[in-house]
Amino acid sequence: DADVTQTPRNRITKTGKRIMLECSQTKGHDRMYWYRQDPGLGLRLIYYSFDVKDINKGEISDGYSVSRQAQAKFSLSLESAIPNQTALYFCATSDPGYYEQFFGPGTRLTVL
């Protein structure tokens, strides 16, 4: 969905490096989410934010941090990347009271 953009789309990095993945949306939604997807597993929630001042941990937040810079921007950081953080990362947005989440195109991260 072009309304939710993620940068970079692909990234290869080395163990121990700090990485930031960025998400921007033009949907005007208050709620934003970060997920990771691994082969054979469902998407798992890392962090979510219901507005600029609200940040919540998801089920797999260890090793990750986030920043909600504005309503439209939500960044995910890996402070010290490790190989098992190699995965596909998705940002999503939703509007309160509406059921649907809208996903970005994903960032493929490889940690060597």
Partner 1 sequence: KNQVEQSPQSLIILEGKNCTLQCNYTVSPFSNLRWYKQDTGRGPVSLTIMTFSENTKSNGRYTATLDADTKQSSLHITASQLSDSASYICVVSVYNQGGKLIFGQGTELSVKP
The distance of Cα 40 from the centroid of its chain, to the nearest Å, equals 19
Between 17 and 108, CB nearer to partner 1: 108
Burial 45-80 (b: 16+ CB within 10 A, else e): bbbbbeeeeebeebeebeebebebeebbebbbebee
Q: Which of 25, 68, 106, 109 binds partner 1 (CB under 8 A)?
A: 106
Residue 64 DSSP SS3: strand
Binding flags for partner 1, 34-73, as an x/- string (CB under 8 A): ------xxxxxx--x-x-----x-----------------
Q: How many residues bind partner 1 (CB under 8 A)?
A: 23
Please report how close the Cβ of residue 16 comes to partner 1 at its closest, in angstroms. 28
